[in-house]
Structure 1
Amino acid sequence: MAAISVRTGPRRRRSVEGRQRVRDGLTDTLIHLLLLVVAVIVIFPLLWVVGSSFGPSGGLANASPVPENATFDNYVHLFTQTNYGRWYLNSLYVAVINMVGSVGLSALCGWVFARIRFRGRKASMLGILILQMFPSFLTAIAVYMLFLNFGLLDSLTGLALVSIAAALPYNTWLMKGYTDNLPASLDEAAALDGAGRLTIFRKIVLPLMRPMLTFVAITSFTVPWMDFILPRLLLQSSGKQTVALGLFQMITDQYSNDFTTFAAGAVVLAVPITILYIALQRHLVTGAMAGAEKG
């Protein structure tokens, strides 16, 4: 009897392992199918826009993911017959200021809330938490009246300041949460060596915050780059329009319904974001690997 159980034991284990391999194979197959479906859903509209930008000029009837006679006429028309260049520079100006300001302020505020104990700290953190729950467009009327009273309407710099203020609560919480996970012993060791608080922040904490700084930089550049509500509210003259306003006007004006030129503008619009992500993604990957090794 013992000999029979010895012989059947390995067979049972092999049977269990075989069923487990089948289940794992089915799971992997379903995951890959799901990823394939998601990829098709995401990529097809992008291919449609890119293909339409190289198609014959005209409306939606001439748009196609694979144009028969590819041409650069839409791009030439975009930069010669419209103010796309001016819109592009305006958006770039606002996005860069918002990125630099958001990264600097949120890093400093997050470090202060994470490392320094002061009176009113909990109340301030609670206020920031409440503020980040409300979308920025809910304060549109208040922002408009404030800008009207201070003479900041139709100002690209004012638009950048509003974008920084709108994203500051959320970015501050991100930075605080990340800084809380950094070892405080590094700060204490530097303080024993005579380093001041700003020196500790600049030379020790700030380099360790690089992955989160990279994430905030990318998001802070992307949001105003594609924002439509605040520019529509605060910008009035045609020379101060951003790309979002210009492209919207390009397809909604009753005398202009050129969707292929609009597609060309959308393709060019994606170039800076793509370059920025490619240039900074190594910092994100390095930070993720460092966090995994630390964990």
Structure 2
Amino acid sequence: MTKTSVSFDSVGLTLAGDLYIPDAPAGGPLPAIVVGHPGGGVKEQTAGLYARKLSEKGFVTLAFDAAYQGESGGEPRGLEDPAHRVEDLKAAVSFLTGRPEVEADRIGELGICAGGGYALAAAASDPRVQAVATVSAADLARHFKHGGDGTQDPAVFRQLLDAASRARTSEARGETVTPLHLIPDTEAEARAHGGEYGAEGWEYYRTARGHHPRQADFFVWPSIDKLAIFDAFTALPLLADRPALLLAGTRAVTAWMSIEAYRMIQGPKELHWIDGASHTDLYDKPRYVDPAVARLAGFFGTHL
């Protein structure tokens, strides 16, 4: 497998990506998979891990940083624009169609966490995507509105919207605005705020296990009102007869979003459970990632 740094355009912004190409002679163009990262993540983390492992299974894969984040362009830094995240995935497909290693009519998408929600939205509205899969899927809009486990008091998100509107006013007055920090500084804070799920996210992003210096540790406040009017699952019926595979851990508190997406998909679909895995276990732990990759490789091998 060979990894090459690449760049491509997404609605006027330059995105940075890593292209993984299998070493074995192919005898012709190969099927390809675009891999979308979690909210706040970067291509060097779990998206890159899955891209590398799937490339080792014979696929050309592309992991990239979303606009406004990582090594990709866009200002302000730390903007989470769901509509642009969907455009980024479509731009990645466009980029792959021009690569000589790729068979343009055999392209799929894989999204992890928030990347899963965005991949479902992008695939549903882009018939060039022949198959779509998710790992620990999350619609980031649902996550912010309802919490990771779906039980959050609606008042919490209304408070975030109030804070976002105040931030807009402060910026208009030339005042300095503190952004919304994503991960607490200590494990105790993370656990107090989000229980075991919060603590696991803290461990992945704040320790040597998964931390990367370019990860998005904050979102600027306009991200919140953009998320307020977004729904990653609205277009799912447009997948029609294109297949979808959703992977979720049996211990994942976020699994309700995979279940909801599964129910809304009207064509060929499978909800596959990884026994014993939590949401974040599927980011990097071999005992869970390896069977997930095996299932993904079989799925894409069949449908691309």
Q: TM-score range by the shorter chain?
A: under 0.3
TM-score calculated relative to the size of structure 2: 0.21
Q: Which has the higher strand share?
A: 2
TM-score calculated relative to the size of structure 1: 0.22
Which of 1 and 2 has greater Rg?
1
